[in-house]
Amino acid sequence: MIRQLDTDLEISSIPLVDLATQSRQIKEDVLRRMSDVIDSARYILGQEVQEFEEQFAAYCGVDHCVGLANGTDALHMALRALDVGEGDEVITAGNSFAATAFAIAYSGAQAVFVDIDPVDFNIDPNRIEAAITPRTKAIIPVHLYGQPAQMAAIREIADRHGLKIIEDAAQAHGAESNGQRCGSFGDIGCFSFYPGKNLGAFGDAGAAVTNDPELAERLRLLRNYGQKVKNRHDCLGYNCRMDTLQACVLLSKMQHIEDWTNSRRQVAAWYGEALAGTDLQLPVERDDARHVYHLYVVRHPQRDAIIESLAAKNIFCGVHYPHPLATAQPFQDAKTFPEGLPVCTSAASAILSLPMYPEMTHQHVSMVAKALVDFGC
C-alpha cells in the first residue's frame, strides 16, 4: 500500500517519523479492542496479550513469544533465562542504542564491544573471535536500522565456541536473511515495540521469541515475579509484563505490518533513485537480506551542517547514534575489538537518518532530495 499525495497539496514540514498519521489509520480498531478490555477489566496478561503472542510468534517463524514491558526488559530477561551473570562476558556491536549494553550490565555480566562491518553497519563477524575468552557466554548481534546481521557466520562462530545467541531485533520486525525472519536465528530474539518502531505500541512494550519451550517457560516466570501459580514464586522474578492495552494496539497494527514494510521499502527505493547522483553514501541492502528500513541512514562528512540546513526548511533528520557505546560513562572500561572501534567511531561522525515512515510519498522524498542537492550534496 503506497500512499500518494496530490502534487498540488502543499507540504509544510517533513518529520523524521510521523506517528500521528499512522495512528489515525487504526484508531477505531484500537478503541474497539481497548473498550473490550475495559469492560472485562482484563488489564494484566489479558487474552489480548496471548493473542498477540501467538500472532507475533507465527510472524517471526518461531514457536513461542513472551510479551514483556519493553525491549530492554526483553534483552535483560533473555540474559537471565540463559543464566548469564556475574563473571560472564557478552559480545555485542559497538554502535547500538544504549539499551543493548545496559541489559548486559543489568545481568551482572561485562559488555565486550566489537567493531562493525563498514557496509551494513552490523557487527563484523570477522572481528568476533578475537573478542572471545573463557568468560564469554553469549553474543548479542544487533540487526541495526532494519538490516539483518550476518547470522550464518555468527551462528557458525557461536556453535564452534559453545556460545548462546540473543538477537537484538528491536529495529528489525519482519527483516529476513535468506527468507528467514530475524528473531528466529538465535536462542532468543528480542523486540521492542516502542512507539517509533516498525511495529510500535502507544507506549512501551516488548517481547522475546524462541523455539525452545523451556526458555519460553523460563521467560514467562521471570516476567511475572517467578509465578506460574499465583503467590508461588519458583524463581527470583521481575515485574515486566506486557500491558494488555498495548497488546490491543499491537494486534491492530499486525494487520498492517506487511503493507507498512513494503511502503518503507518503496520509500527507500525512491531515496536511492533520487540521491544516486549525490556524494552521500547510501545504505546498501545485502543480496541475502530483506531490509525493513526502520531507519534510512546515509553518510556525509558535513552531517551536522546538513541537519541544520534541512531543519531551516522544516525537514527534520536524526542521528542513530552519535557515539559508540564504549564512550558512554558506564562502559568506558569495557574491552573493544579492535581497540577504539575505528569503524564505529568514524561512522558516528557522519551518519544521518533521513525522514522515513510508511506514509511518505514520492513528493516527500523529492522534497528531501532537493533540499540535500541544494545544500551541495
Per-residue pLDDT tens over the stretch 15-64:
999 999 999 999 999 999 999 999 999 999 999 999 999 999 999 999 99
Strands of 335-337's sheet in order across: 64-68, 206-210, 188-192, 164-168, 136-140, 89-93, 110-114, 335-337
Residues of the chain with CATH 3.40.640.10: 20-116+123-250
Going from the C-alpha of 228 to that of each of 179, 215, 218, 232, the distances in angstroms are 36, 14, 10, 7
How high does pLDDT run on average in the chain?
96
How far is C-alpha 338 from the geometric centre of its chain's CA atoms?
25
4: pLDDT strictly greater than 70:
no
6: pLDDT strictly greater than 70:
no
Q: Taking a C-beta distance cutoff of 8 angstroms, is the pair 166, 140 a contact?
A: yes
Give the Cα separation of 45 and 91 in Å (integer): 33
C-alpha angle 257-49-35 in degrees, rounded to nearest 5: 90
The amino acid sitting at 114 is: V
pLDDT band at residue 9 under the 50/70/90 scheme: low
The pLDDT value recorded for residue 10 is 72
CATH 3.40.50.720 fits 256-375, yes or no: no
The pLDDT value recorded for residue 3 is 43
pLDDT band at residue 318 under the 50/70/90 scheme: very high
5: pLDDT strictly greater than 50:
no
2: pLDDT strictly greater than 50:
no
Handedness of CA 242, 243, 244, 249 (dihedral sign): negative
Residues of the chain with CATH 3.90.1150.10: 256-375
Catalytic, out of 27, 137, 164, 197: 197
CATH architecture of 20-116+123-250: 3-Layer(aba) Sandwich (3.40)
7: pLDDT strictly greater than 90:
no
Per the rule left: phi > 0, alpha: psi between -120 and 50, beta: everything else, 61 is left
Q: Using CB atoms within 10 A of its CB, is residue 113 exposed (0-12), middle (13-18) or buried (19+)?
A: buried
| Known active-site residue 197 | yes
The pTM assigned to this predicted structure is: 0.96
The pLDDT value recorded for residue 71 is 98
